[in-house]
Amino acid sequence: MTRFLSLFLVLAPTAYAQETYLPDTQECTFENPDEQDPVILQSDLQQLLGTIPVLQADFGQLFTGYWTNWSADPMQTGLAKLAVMRGALEYYNLYDVYLPGQLVGNEDGTTVCGPETAFTRTLDGTCNDPVDPQMGAAGTRFGRNVPPPLAWPNEATLMDPNPREVSRKLLQRKDFEEVPFLNMLAASWIQFQIHDWFSHGDNSTTDILHVPLKSDDPLHQKYGINYLAIPATAPDATRTAAEQGVLPPTFTNEVTHWWDGSQLYGSDQATSDRLRTFEGGHLRIDEDGLLPESYDGAEDAGFRRNWWVGLSLMHTLFAKEHNAIADMLAEEYPEMSDEELFHKARMINAALMAKIHTLEWTPAILPNKTLEVGMNANWHGLNEYLYPQFPFQVGNAVIDGVVGGQRDLHGVPYSLTEEFVSVYRMHPLLPEKITVRDASSGHVVEVVATADTRDDDALALAREHGIGDLMYSFGVSHPGALVPQNFPKFMSDLRVPGGFVLDMGTVDVLRDRERGIPRYNNARRALLLPPVSDFSDLTDDKQLEAKLRQVYDNDIEKLDLLVGTYAESTRPTCYGFGETLFQVFTLMATRRLQGDRFYTELYTPEVYTPEGIEWVESQTMVDVLLRHYPELAETGLAETDNAFYPWE
C-alpha cells in the first residue's frame, strides 16, 4: 500500500482550481434530461474502455494538485477516471475485521440456511451468503476502509483539540446556509436510508467520556456543568480472547448491513411481527392513513431512534408502498399466502428504495452530468442506459451494470464500515424550523421549530396537518448545506433520556475519534488522495481558515475528518459535498449492490416475479408520492422529473 501511495503522489501534477461550492442552481439541475444532447457516442464506449488501462498505468492523471480532476474532463474520460478510482479503492480499501480464516461473526456452523433463503431475504440478514451465513447479519461487525493499523483510537489525543470547542467554533450554525437545488425530502430521505444501513445501538452505561467545558461555554453558564458526559460506544461483545491486542477495537451493527428495508420491517422476527397485519401481506396502517401509535406515543416502525416528522413522512409513504405492492402481487398470484406476499413485497420495496437512492437522490445532491451517467451505469450498465436499442455484454460491471450481474466481494466479506458511518454525518441538512404549507393554496399554515417535531410530536403534527400537506411543505423547502458553521443550533443543547445534555457536534467529532477514524489527512492518504499541506489549500474562506488554525493549533495533521470534509472549498462541479467523503461513497455505493445476491445473481423475475421487476424498474419517487397522495398532482411535483428537486 505504501508503495502504491508513493507512486501516485509522485505522479500527481501541480495545483488546478476547480469550480467551488455553492454552484449556480441553473448549472446544476437537469429539468429535461431526455432533451439533453447525447453525452457519449456509441463508438466512444470502446474509447472509454481503452482509456482505463492508460489511467491505471498512470494513476496521477486522476489528480491535479490535491484534488481529482475527472469533473473537468470530457464525459468518457471522466467516467474512465471514476472507474479507475473505484477499482483502486476496491483493491486497497476493503478490510476484514475478523481473524484470517475465521468466518463473519466467528460462525461455528450453527447457522442453518433453509431452502427458502435461496429466494427470500431473512429478517436478520443471515444466509445472504450460504457459505458465510453471518455475513451482513445484524449483530456483526462494521468493517473498515482504512488499514487496521490506522484504526486504533489514540487515547492520548481523544480530547485534542477539545471536541466541544471544535463544535462551538467550527460546526455550530451562525446563519442558515441552504442548498437551493434540493428540497427537504432529500434530507429526510438520507436519514431514512441511514437507518436501514447502520446503528451502533445503545451506548455504554458504564463507560462515560467527559468533555471539559470552558467558563464562557453557554452550557456551563446555563446548567452550571463543567463537562459534557457522553456515554461511550458500547464495546463489541463478540470479541474473543484471541482477538484482543491483535485487532483494533471493533463495533457491531444493531441492524443488518444489507440494503433490505430493515428500517421499515425490523431486523428481527419480533419487530416484524409487531408491525404486520398478517392479512394480505400488509404492514399495519391506521384508519387515518398514519403509522400505528407505539407505547410511548410516537409512531411504530422497524427502527425508531432519532424520530422526527421527516422520518414519519418517509416511513408512512413506504409502508403504504409495501401494501400497494402486496396488493399487486395478490391480484397476480391469488395462490400466494400472507407470508409469501409479505416477504416478496418486502424485497420489491427494498429494491425500489435502492433504485430511487441510486438514480434519483444521488444525482439530486450531486447534480453533475458525469456522475448522473455513472450512477445509472451502476444500476443499468452504461450500455443499456445510453443505448437500450443496442444491448450487448462485454463482461465489465461499468458497461454491463452491477444490478442483475455477478456478485463480487473483491475478496473481503461484505459489511458496511466505520468510515461509511462517519461520512454520512449530515446534520447540517436540518433547518431550525419547518414551514407547514397548505398543498392546495401554497399558503403558510404554521411554522414549527424542528426541535418540536421529534418523537410523539411528529405524530401530533401528522394528525393536525395530514401527510399530504407535510409532503408538499418539505417539497418546497430547502435543506442546509454540508459546510462549516451550519450545524443546527437546536442540536447544540439537547436534553436526552438519562438527564444528559448533549451537543451533537461534539458527539460527532468524539465518535470518530473513539472509533478509530483517522484524522483528515491520514484518512485522505488511506483513501488514495494526496494530503493537504496547509489550511489555505483546504478553503478559500479566510475567516474560516483563521478559525481552523486557531482551533487546531495551526497543525493540519490534527484536523478532524468531519470538519475537513465540510471545509473543502474545492469540489467536483455541482457537488453538495467534497471529494474526501466521495471516496468512501464511490466505493461503498457500488459495494452495497455488488456484494448482495439479491441485487446481483438473484435479481431475476424468478425471484422477484416479473411484475416485481417491472415495478422496481418503472417506478420513481414521483410515482410513489402521487400513488399515495394524488392531491400532490396539483402542485409542482407533477412538473419535476426528480422529487428531490424543489417543487416550485
As a whole number of angstroms, the distance between CA 550 and CA 569 comes to 19
| Apex 105 CA angle, 103 and 107, nearest 5 | 55
524's CB contacts (< 8 A; 6+ apart) are: 530, 531, 532, 580
Backbone angles phi, psi at 209, to 5 degrees: -95, 130
Number of H helices, E strands in the chain: 26, 8
Instruction: Return the closest-CA partner of residue 64 out of 19, 17, 13, 18.
Output: 13
User: C-alpha distances in angstroms, 161 versus 308, 422, 556, 560?
Assistant: 32, 19, 12, 9
Q: Would residue 608 show up in a list of annotated catalytic residues for this protein?
A: no
Torsion of CA 198, 311, 505, 586, to 10 degrees: 50
Segment (H or E) for 228: strand 227-231
Q: Angle, nearest 10°, between helix axes 184-197 and 467-475? A: 110
Q: Cα(first)–Cα(last) distance of the chain, in Å?
A: 49
User: C-alpha distances in angstroms, 476 versus 99, 280, 574?
Assistant: 50, 36, 20
Question: Of residues 98, 265, 424, 629, which has the active-site annotation?
Answer: 424
Burial string for 328-365 (b: 16+ CB within 10 Å, else e) reads bbbeeeeebebebbbbbbbbbbbbbbbbbbbbbbbbbb
As a whole number of angstroms, the distance between CA 253 and CA 420 comes to 12
Question: Which 8-state DSSP code applies to residue 417?
Answer: B
As a whole number of angstroms, the distance between CA 547 and CA 554 comes to 9
Q: Which segments within 249-396 are labelled E, that is strand?
A: none
As a whole number of angstroms, the distance between CA 150 and CA 281 comes to 47
Residues that are catalytic? 424
